[in-house]
Amino acid sequence: MGKLVFIVEDSPAQQKMLQVHFEQMLGNFSVKTFSNPDDIFNYLSEKPFAIVLDHFFPDKTDKTGLHYLKDLRRNHSSIPVIYYTTCDDEAVRKEVMKLGAEDYIHKDSASLVRLRTALDLLEEKQSKKKGIFRKLFGGK
């Protein structure tokens, strides 16, 4: 079983496409999808490797992904969040990065490549942290 990634996306087609991409194309991830962003908070004890968070949830809530990102940073700051959205707004991008997201990826024809790059960087960061921990505390 691969690293667990939560995908928070209101579109079932996008959910499925991302799930196939992560699980079959990339191969080293398992995915849990959510249409309603409020639902992820019941599953955070599963300690996902990362959360891929959309910006718009028009049929589910009056809140945007910014609200959920703020809540995640406030209460679950160790879980990396990648903001993955159709929203192409520089002010939103700046706010997302200021709130501590790992990356802001605009959905377009190259977004799956950028998403893979963001995940690779997360894995690299995690590996470096483990290496530093091993050096400091003599673990394997």
- Where residue 105 sits, what CATH number does that domain have? 3.40.50.2300
Q: What span, in angstroms and rounded, lies between the C-alpha atoms of 140 and 136?
A: 11
How many percent of the chain have pLDDT more than 90?
62
Residue 59 has pLDDT above 70, yes or no: no
pLDDT band at 61 (very low <50, low <70, confident <90, very high): low
- Domain range spanning residue 91? 3-137
Exposure of 134 in the CB half-sphere (CA atoms within 13 A): 8
Q: What's the pTM?
A: 0.87
Q: Which tens digits make up the pLDDT trace of 1-57?
A: 689 999 999 889 999 999 998 888 777 889 999 999 999 999 999 999 999 999 888
Q: What span, in angstroms and rounded, lies between the C-alpha atoms of 55 and 64?
A: 5
pLDDT band at 137 (very low <50, low <70, confident <90, very high): low
12 within 8 A of 35, measured Cβ to Cβ: yes
How many domains would you assign to the chain? Answer: 1
